[in-house]
Amino acid sequence: MEERPARLTSKPSWLLTQLAVHAHRLVSDSFGEVGARGYHYRILAALDEFGVASQAELGRRCSMDRSDVVAAINELADQGFVERTPDPDDRRRNIVNLTEAGDRQLRRMDRALDKVQDDLLGPLSVEDRANLTLLLTRLLTHHQQG
């Protein structure tokens, strides 16, 4: 491994960025093996946890841009993982529902993501993993609140 300046490698921001790039690559590769993408996981997980939702609700819950939501839902619908129907209360809106095939795909993606976590966090104990998750959650929550 190349040597890097200590004043750089001692900065949490640099470390987080390097790990984020590595984690993103691992997740993308793993999801690719099951014919999926990260946006698919976000949408399927939201539908599984919260139930039927409009595309706009999914965008907010999944922190996704409207055009990305539409594209991902189109892909998921083409594969039979979600059903999209007009909202009976507002025909301009679509309601999205998780199908049984979508539930099975979400379980495949969960297993793939679990393996990624084990790979990414391999050197850490169970306690260290829990503490890292707690600290990262605290930081993210703080910065999302502005």
* Structural domains of the chain sorted by starting position, each given as residue range(s) with its CATH number in brackets: 36-120 (1.10.10.10)
- Kindly list the distances between the CA atom of residue 122 and the CA atoms of 67, 114, 115, in Å, as whole numbers in the listed order: 36, 12, 10
pLDDT of residue 64: 96
- Report whether pLDDT(15) > 90: yes
pLDDT of residue 52: 96
For residue range 113-134, list pLDDT tens digits in order: 999 999 999 999 999 999 999 9
- Report whether pLDDT(146) > 80: no
For residue range 31-83, list pLDDT tens digits in order: 999 999 999 999 999 999 999 999 999 999 999 999 999 999 999 999 999 99
